[in-house]
Structure 1
Amino acid sequence: MDSSATPVESAKCGPALDSAPLRRIRWPLVHDARGAHASPAAILLHGFGHSADVWRATVRFWRTAPKAPATFAFDLPGHGRSRALPSSAYRIAEVARTLEGEIRALTDESVVLIGHSIGGRVALALSQSSRIRVDGLVLVETGVSVSPPSSRKAIIEAASISTSSFANRTEPIEAVMKKVPMADRSAVSEYVEHALQPTASGLRMALDPAAVELLFDENPNSIWSSLENLRIPLAVIRGEYSSFLRESTIQQMRERVSVPLSAAVIAKAGHSLPLERPDALGQMLDHAYHFVTSAASTGAACVNGQKGRCHG
């Protein structure tokens, strides 16, 4: 197997929820035939109830591109093998501060932040930091308005799998497929296989129940303010059938965001893109990554489309 395609667990990985600061997975650089590679590094942040393992299939498809950057996926606090936070600390800003320290310890070079769902909100908060260097932001199925009660309920129900115990490795796969009916079984199997942890009560994927407070930390005015104040290129990816990020919201972004912006839609998919269409998402992330890094390297800037081709 090509070692460049093999993810490496961080030394911080531990068997229990509170045994490590933040666990991460690292995929090395992919060089093209001339030895060139993409930079800067990409930081992947998952959605609520998942873990870094949910990105495995997507990154595998991304890395079929001629060259790919060093890529790091973190378990958010209270998820997977990362330590839990005090219940009162499950706020987007606090999670961003925790990740900020981890990224600073990882590299002092620029990074591209990529977040799915609530991970996108954490990435947006991180992009405002003056303590890390961010060249671009990619939001995958990240809503801006307050989530409809039905949508929030669906996320909580799907995430309940991560607080459940299972007798074998088949049960959680079937549970995920039931909760996410459009999911790709091979992507789900890969995710579950790596996310499961043995406990005294059986196998589980680990989620601190108190982390649900992150879903209620929604302030549309603050999110829009952060988007309007962006000074780095932005790419947005949504699923065709999703109710979390609608086309009308992307149109609002085009009108209100003053930086280069690229938007893409993945067909026949909903909100859980890393599990539903990892193949298409991998290709879209490659495009989005090169869009934001190219715009950053050329110093592209615009205000409401007045300079250059700001909105792709």
Structure 2
Amino acid sequence: MHIEQGGQGPDLLLLLHGMGATGAVWSPLLAEADVRWPGRWLALDLPGHGRSAPQDSYAVGQLAASVARAVLPHADASGRLVVLGHSLGGVIALALATGWFGVAPHQVFGAGIKAAWSDDELRRMDALASQPAKKFATEDEAWDRYLKVSGLAPLVNIAGAASTLALRGVAQEADGWRLAMDPRANAVGKPPLSELMSVARCPVHLGRGAHDALVTMEQTRALDAHATELGPHGHNVMVEAPARVWDWVSSFD
């Protein structure tokens, strides 16, 4: 699994990105890590994303197990493990909060987790998972598609150069360019959010940007009655307002 890391100390902050993206989406947040986080951090590419290898199953439990195996060698028993996940990464963070996968987070944060799924949405995801990766004749076409799929297209001027924010999002093959994401990762299915929240063994905090089109505050507070509104931002709030996300995490120290 592709992992980027930095910082010093026993505490560890694990950053989990959303579907279709890579660990590079955390670059605006990590630009402030030296002054906002008193420890080490890991930002990885989820299985089947970026430079991380694909796997046979992308069920939430299988994703959480893969992430836990990758994180365990970096965890320090004398320090805290804090997990911050966005969208799909937030779902995986909730799964890790159960303690079922060999890691024991001290706190978990989930931003922008989609809480309601229609049958049509699930059917579309299954259809995408069954299709081969689309090939593009040029690199520019592949990048354009990647920025749209990952939700980063309207944010590149806010967060800086797309080359920094979207690293590892596309891959070149002999017959053209494609998105780095394994299409089968779309088959993650409807996550059992209420069930995961009910068996969490550590404090779990949910939040969303006020303009997040994928989840409402009502839906988020149905899972976490004390969920935090993270300001007038969209789905990728950690890109739009990294300082606000740092404030959120630090408010629960």
Q: Normalising by structure 2, report the TM-score.
A: 0.80
For structure 2, the 5+ residue unaligned runs are none
The residue that corresponds to 2:228 in the other structure is 263
Q: Is the 8 A contact 2:13 2:42 kept in 1?
A: yes
Q: 2:115 aligns with which of 144, 147, 158?
A: 144
Whether 1:235 aligns to 2:201 is: no
> Pairwise mapping of residues 279-294 of structure 1 onto structure 2 (< 5 A)?
280=241, 282-292=242-252, 294=253
> Pairwise mapping of residues 83-162 of structure 1 onto structure 2 (< 5 A)?
83-86=53-56, 89-109=57-77, 110-130=80-100, 131-146=102-117, 149=120
CA RMSD of aligned residues (A): 3.1
The residue that corresponds to 2:30 in the other structure is 59
Q: Is the 8 A contact 1:41 1:112 kept in 2?
A: yes
Amino-acid identity (%): 20
For residues 250-279 of structure 1, the C-alpha deviation after alignment (integer angstroms, 9 at most, x for no partner) is 332344xxxxx5513231x3223345x1xx
The residue that corresponds to 2:4 in the other structure is 25
Report the secondary structure of 2:181's partner residue.
coil
Distance 1:235 1:167, change over 3 A: same
For residues 210-238 of structure 1, the C-alpha deviation after alignment (integer angstroms, 9 at most, x for no partner) is 11101xx214xx31122133342233221
The residue that corresponds to 2:43 in the other structure is 73
Report the secondary structure of 2:166's partner residue.
helix
Distance in 1 of aligned mates of 2:223 and 2:156: 30
- Number of corresponding residues: 242
Shift of 1:121: 0.8
Bigger Rg over Cα: 1
Distance 1:177 1:99, change over 3 A: closer
Distance 1:176 1:285, change over 3 A: same
Distance in 2 of aligned mates of 1:74 and 1:147: 29
Report the secondary structure of 2:154's partner residue.
coil
Amino acid at match of 1:79: H
Q: Is the 8 A contact 1:167 1:202 kept in 2?
A: yes
